[in-house]
Structure 1
Amino acid sequence: MLKSHSLNRNLLVLHATVMIWGFTGILGNLISISATHLVWYRVLIAFITLLIYFRATKTPFTVTKNAFFKLIFTGAIVGAHWIFFFQSIKSSNVSVALVCLSSVTLFTAILEPIFSKKKISKLEIFTGLMIITGITLIFKFETRYAVGISFGLLCAFCASLFSIINSKQVQNRPAPVISFYEMAGAWVWISLYLALTGGFNSSMKLPLSDIIYLLILGTICTSLAYVAGVSVMKELSAFRVALITNLEPVYGIILAFIFFGKREHMTAGFYAGSLIILSSIFLYPYIRTKIEKRRMSKQMLPG
């Protein structure tokens, strides 16, 4: 009974976390400053919040010099990912950005075998082709959002890249520690970029509404959601976590309709392409699990 209650609680926490991640697109649309300045403030607030969390819970967060530099450099990819994401929103809308972000599965299917020197599976090739079909359909019917779609795909590429890197890092250290150093790294690299391009200027001044939105984005949508998302992994299977995480664009698009209404209405081609992409993403882990179970059953059969 207690185990069932704990499972339900963790499922509720995970769904709430994924919905919060979906809400980041809403905030990105509401915040008036540029995507680069937005991410600079976001990562600054996020890593300061995580530092306070570590101090308050007396959680050790030191890492080796080698790990420190790896995480700081990975932070550059994380920062680029978020800049491309918010630039995609500002160049199109929340729905376009979130659907394009879903193509992270496609890039992971291509990049992971290269990094891990593994053979690409037939299922991954098929899933990739389905996602490419969906993206092509969206490009065909939403030419006015070509720039936003391009930024969304770049965002997904970066997300795939740092996810593959982090899948190795998480074997040796807690996810919140990885997040802390990567966000600190993102802030350092973006600060360097702004310093070299004269980005530290009057356009960084924040109206009160932006300050409120950024505080929500940096604390609740980044630090708190990240810690909550990691905590549920102790009891939920990786398959279930992956499946529920795929709901982020669905939650985000629903929230975008609630907040922005007609501004989020798209062509039938967009929804057809989105349906192909999201169906592929949802079916991929389900079919993969079925194949793995069938393979294991065959191996267990007497020779």
Structure 2
Amino acid sequence: MPNAKLKHYLHLHFLVFIAGFTAILGKLITIGALALVWYRMAIAGILMYLFVIAIKLDIKITKKTFWKFSVAGVIIALHWITFFESIKQSNVSIALAMFSSGAFFASFIEPIFFKRRILVYEILFGLIVIAGVFLITSSEMDYIYGIILGLLSALFSTLFAVINGRFIERHNATVISFYEFVSGVFFLTVFIGLSDIEFNAEFFTLSSKDWIYIFILASVCTAYAFIGSVDVMRYISPFTVILSYNLEPIYGIALALLIFPDTEQMSPQFYIGAVLIIVTVLLDAIFKNYKRTKNKTNAITD
């Protein structure tokens, strides 16, 4: 039994490692962020559909539900576009450090969606995150566009996570993801059609390395990672899963330093700011779990 538990924990951290590796692929892929996300969502959507067929999953939903999923699909597309563009405008370390600020946005977005009051410690943690972002910004002004895009990416990611948190209460996670991918591809297709970018031979002419990296991104880092994260929650508590995923920036930044030492070496202020943000995110998860456990205990006692 302990060996089985260890296997699931190792699987979880492999999934977190994959999440961190996503940023590395974003730097290695040479095409623009918009095209990159279109390919990612299109290939992941096809793979997800094959998975749906393989497990014979019923994916019928109402028209109202479809439009709700479509909005979420557009938001995740915007998150990925701003995230990958942040990497291209700065580097992996900047993008991941800014992505960690999502806890700050969650402290204000969650109370609106779940109709609860803002907690005092969330405000305190939010101020610490702001301090961390300020340290990074003041020491890395050359990457200001990447920093802004990274913050936007964190905002879209938090909004997406909160919305999906409501969906998952009533719908199957695979069904949600499939429709979000489909709607995201449709949105990007329309957007590209209205922009200067064209679906011509050049759009579909990629280097062999780009094709390999994009397929890994769409299959391993998107379709498999999503299915795997859903599966692992059957054996490990949601809190442990969430806390572990908060380690993604650490894995990603460490990988970036190893793979791109020339472009990922940052100032001491950057690392102080990044540590402030990441530690705050971890503490936020621990506090939320403590409060949830305490409320359950009180409910049982009453």
Q: Deviations over 1:10-58 (max 9, x none)?
A: 1111100110011111111011110000000000000000001111222
Q: Which amino acid aligns with 1:22?
A: G
The aligned residue for residue 235 of structure 1 is 235
Larger CA deviation: 27-36 vs 116-125: 116-125
Larger CA deviation: 288-297 vs 60-69: 288-297
Give me the whole-angstrom Cα distance separating, in 2, the residues matched to 1:301 and 1:212.
56
How many residue pairs get aligned? The number is: 300
1:199 and 2:189 are equivalent in the alignment: no
Helix, strand or coil at the partner of 1:258: helix
The aligned residue for residue 174 of structure 2 is 176
Q: Deviations over 1:174-210 (max 9, x none)?
A: 2121111111111000000000013124255211111
**What's the offset of the Cα at 1:234?**
1.3
Structure 1 residue ranges, 4+ long, deviating more than 4 angstroms after superposition? 291-302
Give me the whole-angstrom Cα distance separating, in 2, the residues matched to 1:77 and 1:177.
17
**What's the offset of the Cα at 1:8?**
1.5
Larger CA deviation: 160-169 vs 293-302: 293-302
Give me the whole-angstrom Cα distance separating, in 1, the residues matched to 2:160 and 2:108.
14
Q: Which amino acid aligns with 1:217?
A: L
Larger CA deviation: 44-53 vs 54-63: 54-63
Give me the whole-angstrom Cα distance separating, in 2, the residues matched to 1:194 and 1:297.
52
Give me the whole-angstrom Cα distance separating, in 2, the residues matched to 1:54 and 1:295.
37
**What's the offset of the Cα at 1:151?**
0.3
- Cα 1:127–1:216, aligned 2, differ >3 Å: closer, same or farther? same
| Cα RMSD, aligned residues only | 1.7
The aligned residue for residue 106 of structure 1 is 104
Give me the whole-angstrom Cα distance separating, in 2, the residues matched to 1:153 and 1:215.
27
**What's the offset of the Cα at 1:297?**
6.2
- Cα 1:300–1:226, aligned 2, differ >3 Å: closer, same or farther? closer
The aligned residue for residue 223 of structure 2 is 223
The aligned residue for residue 154 of structure 2 is 156
Gaps of 5+ in 1: none
Give the one of 126, 131, 147 matched to 1:128. Answer: 126
The aligned residue for residue 83 of structure 1 is 81
Q: Deviations over 1:235-271 (max 9, x none)?
A: 2112111110111101111111121112100001100
Helix, strand or coil at the partner of 2:171: coil
**What's the offset of the Cα at 1:173?**
1.3
Give me the whole-angstrom Cα distance separating, in 1, the residues matched to 2:208 and 2:60.
35
**What's the offset of the Cα at 1:301?**
7.6
Q: Deviations over 1:63-86 (max 9, x none)?
A: 222111111121111100000000
Give me the whole-angstrom Cα distance separating, in 1, the residues matched to 2:230 and 2:295.
30
Mapped contact 2:246–2:282 kept (Cα < 8 A): yes
* TM-score (normalizing by structure 1): 0.94
Give me the whole-angstrom Cα distance separating, in 1, the residues matched to 2:245 and 2:162.
16
The aligned residue for residue 117 of structure 2 is 119
Helix, strand or coil at the partner of 1:234: coil
Helix, strand or coil at the partner of 1:32: coil
**What's the offset of the Cα at 1:299?**
7.4
Give me the whole-angstrom Cα distance separating, in 1, the residues matched to 2:35 and 2:259.
23
The aligned residue for residue 257 of structure 1 is 257
Larger CA deviation: 279-288 vs 25-34: 279-288
Q: Deviations over 1:88-143 (max 9, x none)?
A: 00000001101111111111111111222210001111111111110011001000
Give me the whole-angstrom Cα distance separating, in 2, the residues matched to 1:220 and 1:298.
42
Give me the whole-angstrom Cα distance separating, in 1, the residues matched to 2:296 and 2:243.
22
Give the one of 5, 8, 18 matched to 1:7. Answer: 5
Give the one of 65, 71, 74 matched to 1:73. Answer: 71
The aligned residue for residue 167 of structure 1 is 165
